[in-house]
Amino acid sequence: MSFHNTLVRKVAGISLCAAIGFAGLAMGQAPEASAATSKADKIISLGQKYLGVKYRFGAPSGSTSAFDCSSFTQYIYGKHGIKLPRVSNSQAAKGYKVAKSNLKRGDLVFFTTARTGKKIGHVGVYVGNNKMLHTYGAPGVTYSAINSRYWKSHYVTARRVL
């Protein structure tokens, strides 16, 4: 085998290894993004199974016969390996802050309530299109627009825990 053929084979081999390595890096980044999206979709899908389940303030952790807002998020995230504290104010300290303009499916959105005054007292799951999945009052587990008059005026922050 000539020096030229050997050199060409080595260069081709190195180029092929580099191409495979770079492709692997690129593919390694894509699954991370899709994994978060996939987990968000699974969490939201589980939450949807409870549409209409009644609201009960102080509902116990793990109960699925009734939820309050934070027991609901704690339950559906917990079923997918994300441990959240029991109350919304404590859940608002998890993950990292996300601007309202950068919300993604699966982000937690937090609000004040009449009961809590200026403190966080409500949490929902952002599902996209300015809507959240949450539970409160008579509708129980339901969807609401986060930019409706009430929720928009009580919005505090959002956290990404996925």
- Residue 21 pLDDT: 40
Left, alpha or beta for 158 (phi > 0: left; psi -120 to 50: alpha)? beta
Residue range 130-140, pLDDT digits in tens: 999 999 999 99
- Residue 35 pLDDT: 73
For the chain, the structural domain boundaries read: 38-160
State the Cα–Cα distance between residues 149 and 20, nearest whole angstrom.
Answer: 53
Q: Grade residue 6 by pLDDT with cuts at 50, 70 and 90.
A: very low
Residue range 17-69, pLDDT digits in tens: 433 343 343 444 444 566 767 999 999 999 999 999 999 999 999 999 999 99
* Active-site amino acid positions: 69, 122, 134
User: In 49-148, which residue ranges form alpha helices assigned H by DSSP?
Assistant: 69-78, 88-91
Superfamily, domain 38-160: endopeptidase domain like (from Nostoc punctiforme) (3.90.1720.10)
